Amino acid sequence: MPAFARLSVRGLQTTAPLPPPTTPLPPSDGQASVASTSSSASASAAAIAHLPPIVPSSVASSSSFSLPVAPSSTSSAIQHLESQSTPSAGRYVLARLHARTYLLHPRDILTLPTLKPMQPPGTTLSLTKILEVGSRDYAIRSPAASPNLHKRGLDWKEKKLLKLESIPSEIVRCELTVLEHTKDPLIKVDKKKRRKGYKKTIQHKQGYTRLRVGDIHLAQAE
């Protein structure tokens, strides 16, 4: 065993070293990426040099930029909303319906579980729990529109709302039109218990009501 060890060590010691490289090594990945990035940046800058600036010079030179001022009263807020939207376009409402909150726009189609009592198609319904109405830049919100405040008004034991502050109907008004009453395809659920001889098939069709959202009307600003 010692003789074999000596032979192996001797063989490793007599191995000749490799000659030094005669050709220069290629640049590293970091140097290549920096060179390619600089060349691509210069090429892109030259390609878009003839294009006009994105921001006009008058806006770019002005150092002061003022944000829109929040309205101080409900009448001024209604004026701002009317300046940016019309009853049939540019407005939205956040309404509470069927124990859920929905974001609605004019001419939207809303599908809900069957409303009770069932109303015939063509019936007009009014939204009574509107939490928010707004346009692109302005909105009128009730305290219940905030999720945190909304959770505080819930009775977790009874699973119902104790208090829901909505926007009065004198400020915003929106109507829904019943389109149709539909049902899902038949669903069959088989229930079975092992070694009990119990077997049962449950059939169910979930019903739905389709509603069309009408125009969103605001009160006339004084």
Query: For the residues 155-169, what does the mean pLDDT come to?
Result: 70
Task: Characterize the bridge pairing of strands 154-155 and 100-104.
Answer: unpaired
> What is Dmax (Cα atoms) for the chain?
111
Place of tokens 């729990």: 129
Give 212's strand partners.
109, 177
| Run of H or E residues at 34 | helix 29-47
Q: Domain ranges in the chain?
A: 75-218
pLDDT digits (tens, 9 = 90+) for 78-133: 998 999 899 999 999 999 888 788 999 999 999 999 998 899 999 999 999 999 99
Q: Which segments of 3-129 are extended strands (E)?
A: 92-97, 100-104, 109-113, 124-126
Which pLDDT band holds residue 53 (cuts at 50, 70, 90)?
low
Query: CB of 6 within 8 A of CB of 12?
Result: no
Place of tokens 């169910």: 204
Angle subtended at Cα 211 by Cα 207 and Cα 217, rounded to the nearest 5 degrees: 155
More confident residue, 144 or 101: 101
Q: Which of 13-27, 108-122, 197-211 has the lowest mean pLDDT?
A: 13-27
Most confident of 41-45, 56-60, 89-93: 89-93
Query: CB of 96 within 8 A of CB of 129?
Result: yes
Examine the pLDDT at 24 and tell me if it is beyond 70.
no
Place of tokens 């939204």: 127
Most confident of 3-7, 52-56, 99-103, 213-217: 213-217
Place of tokens 């605001």: 218
**pLDDT given at position 67:** 61
- How far is it, in rounded angstroms, from Cα 209 to Cα 118? 9
Examine the pLDDT at 152 and tell me if it is beyond 80.
no
Place of tokens 């007599």: 14
Please state whether the peptide bond connecting residue 168 to the residue before it is cis, i.e. omega within 30 degrees of 0.
no
Examine the pLDDT at 5 and tell me if it is beyond 50.
no
